[in-house]
């Protein structure tokens, strides 16, 4: 059996890959926000929630595998990750559809993350800073917005989690 094949049979490795993958995706979003200066819209912020929750669930799956809890516990936690990533696919698809004008966005589309230079300036910054609209993609890479890339990464993570949940154990 080759090294990658043995890793694919390990619930510990799969839980680690899923948790790391979710951390990289949400870390990238935070990097674009705080380093790149891309202010997220309300839907962008909402799309991060499955990842935030999933990272915690992934850590629990990793711990349950490392501490040799019954395999059904680890599989159940990986199944929860699959559901979270499917929810993320739905959120990303909805947001991308709003950006492409396939349907209307929520009325809260103009509420986003803003801030000031110091804590005392937060209220002033809220009044002077206009958050981006959910209907306009701030950046497209290879034709896809952040929402579109979220759909693809969520689909990949969901596929791994679904496979790991329902695969036959030897």
Distance, in Å, from the CA atom of 31 to the CA atom of 37, rounded to the nearest integer, reads 9
Q: State yes or no: pLDDT of 124 exceeds 70.
A: no
Q: Count Cα neighbours of 13 within 13 Å in the Cβ-side half-sphere.
A: 8
Distance, in Å, from the CA atom of 144 to the CA atom of 147, rounded to the nearest integer, reads 8
pTM score, whole prediction: 0.80
Distance, in Å, from the CA atom of 49 to the CA atom of 53, rounded to the nearest integer, reads 6
Q: What is the pLDDT of residues 33-87, one digit of tens each?
A: 888 888 888 888 889 999 999 999 999 999 999 999 999 999 999 999 999 999 9
């Amino acid at each position: 059996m080759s090294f990658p094949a043995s890793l694919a049979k390990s619930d510990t490795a799969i839980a680690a890959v899923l948790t790391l993958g979710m951390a990289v995706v949400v870390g990238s979003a935070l990097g674009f926000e705080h380093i790149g200066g891309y202010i997220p819209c309300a839907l962008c912020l909402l799309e991060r929630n499955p990842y935030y929750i999933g990272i915690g669930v992934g850590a629990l799956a990793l711990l349950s595998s490392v501490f040799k809890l019954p395999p059904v516990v680890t599989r159940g936690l990986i199944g929860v990750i699959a559901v979270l990533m499917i929810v993320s696919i739905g959120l990303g698809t909805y947001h991308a559809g709003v950006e492409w004008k396939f349907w209307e966005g929520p009325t809260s589309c103009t509420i986003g993350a803003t801030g000031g230079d110091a804590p005392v300036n937060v209220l002033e910054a809220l009044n002077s800073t206009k958050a981006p609209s959910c209907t306009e993609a701030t950046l497209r890479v290879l034709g896809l917005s952040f929402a579109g890339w979220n759909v693809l990464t969520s689909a990949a993570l969901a596929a791994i989690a679904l496979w790991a949940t329902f695969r036959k154990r030897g």
